Structure 1
């Protein structure tokens, strides 16, 4: 949500979209709750990605119940077919050796709520046992101070690497080169990275939090883990079970196609915008 200055009144009709951090984290701060309430008072509509997010919003601002709607994120992926994954890894000093390495890709902006270091120690221990497994954290330094902490930690964690953000089309191509996409966030609204991976026929492993559980059914469309040790255990099992891999990928693709159509999302927002007039 984009808060209006205190005491202001916008002459332009507008709506707002809850992103996840606002509902899951900012709503714990009384001052931010008051700011968001002021915005909601003026907004013509508000959009949440899931019914659970809508209910949490209503619990904070019950007077806005009738203007809060649910619209899941729509997904469209556009992998760059000319993207050179090995060259990208080489330029970043990350091990690359054809198909002999097993890459896990953690896509996130470097800020604390995304908790990108959550798996670092457990993954490093696994890597020392099996050098073929590699965890790559990729994304922009949203919080520069925290990003330095991530960089320093990664330098000491075997098998864990940090890669700067790349254009979306290249990122989609990189996803297709990986074994799985990982999410380790403390909280999520709806992870586009997970949905895009599912759309690209790539496995997903996500921390078992409400936002992730809303789009992933454990062992059906992906895997949910509750701690780093369970992540390693589930990953090992998945690597050793190609049949389960195929089943999860097929079900995940079917789920995204059915529930996260970008055409449906576009039509919904067109109707929202038309309601402003």
Structure 2
């Protein structure tokens, strides 16, 4: 079986790239031949290679890609990854293409039941072809860390491609208020600048608070395990999410997480059980301080999170479920 996995901005270090590469690796272990294509940039102008099926990631971007093809695929699977579900589906300029992408798909994949509920409400006629498959988790090998935590400090790590939806400036400003009373607080920001204006704002704040904030920039995904192992708390402050791989990865390490209470995040984090969810800046600061002061809470949510990831987010199980979908469509 030959499957094309088509994702936007591949191989840029974004969440979609991590997701698609993991799925490709695990499908190959099951004997599936995979080819990964970018649906954006120069690569998008090339004809599709021969394959049995095309699996597109990000409904809106995949539809733009298909419109450029001289011969679009007869059958395709589409995965909604985050902004397509939470933003593009409700954007007056993009909604039509998102709906067309979903109507034309032979199968539609979402990460959780909440996402399925949104789709069924907006497009009830596709309910029968929606599959819910939770993201698998990445496994990291041991390697040297690109940065080392200072002794006697408390380390927050925020992994994010820097763009407006990730809300990184607010994360820095919220922690700045807490740093005034908790001078041992440190913040590492990890990820590429994806929107220039947002990157300039973040870098100005990093310079302003350079005594306790560090921007590590774009790092190889393989090095992230060495950072999760040092973090006291992993942050996600996004305004919208799909099912962020970094949260899953950190939870798999038993790291406490503090994340915004948005669809996608709250589908994998149960408040005060496997992490903490915040709804406002004041809640963020309260919960961040609580985690700094309560090592027992950090251990409890970290242990629960590690168990949850092992039970619900197996990469092998993810690939097996996709293979079942592919087989059903081809047979």
| TM-score, with structure 2 as normaliser | 0.76
SS at match of 1:141: coil
What do the CA deviations read for 1:87-120 (whole angstroms, capped 9, x no partner)?
Answer: xxxxxxxxx53x3111101111111111111222
Q: What residue is the counterpart of 1:216 in the other structure?
A: 269
CA contact (8 A) 1:85 1:177 kept: no
Q: Which runs of 5+ in 1 are unaligned?
A: 87-95
What do the CA deviations read for 1:180-208 (whole angstroms, capped 9, x no partner)?
Answer: 11010001111211111010111101112
* Partners of 1:128 and 1:70 in 2: CA distance: 44
CA contact (8 A) 2:89 2:99 kept: no
What do the CA deviations read for 1:131-188 (whole angstroms, capped 9, x no partner)?
Answer: 2101222111122232122212332246333221211121111111111110100011
Q: Does 1:141 align with 2:193?
A: yes
CA contact (8 A) 1:105 1:182 kept: yes
| TM-score, with structure 1 as normaliser | 0.89
Pairs aligned (count): 267
SS at match of 2:269: coil
Larger RCO, structures 1/2 (Cα 8 Å, 6+ apart): 1
1:121 CA drift (Å): 1.7
- After superposition, residues 118-129 of structure 1 pair within 5 angstroms as 118-129=170-181
1:50 CA drift (Å): 0.8
Q: What residue is the counterpart of 1:169 in the other structure?
A: 222
- After superposition, residues 50-61 of structure 1 pair within 5 angstroms as 50-61=112-123
SS at match of 1:212: coil
Any runs of at least 4 consecutive aligned residues in structure 1 with deviations exceeding 4 A, and if so which?
A: 6-9
SS at match of 1:275: helix
1:122 CA drift (Å): 2.4
Q: What residue is the counterpart of 2:299 in the other structure?
A: 246
* Partners of 1:8 and 1:51 in 2: CA distance: 35
Q: Which runs of 5+ in 2 are unaligned?
A: 1-57
* Partners of 2:170 and 2:141 in 1: CA distance: 28
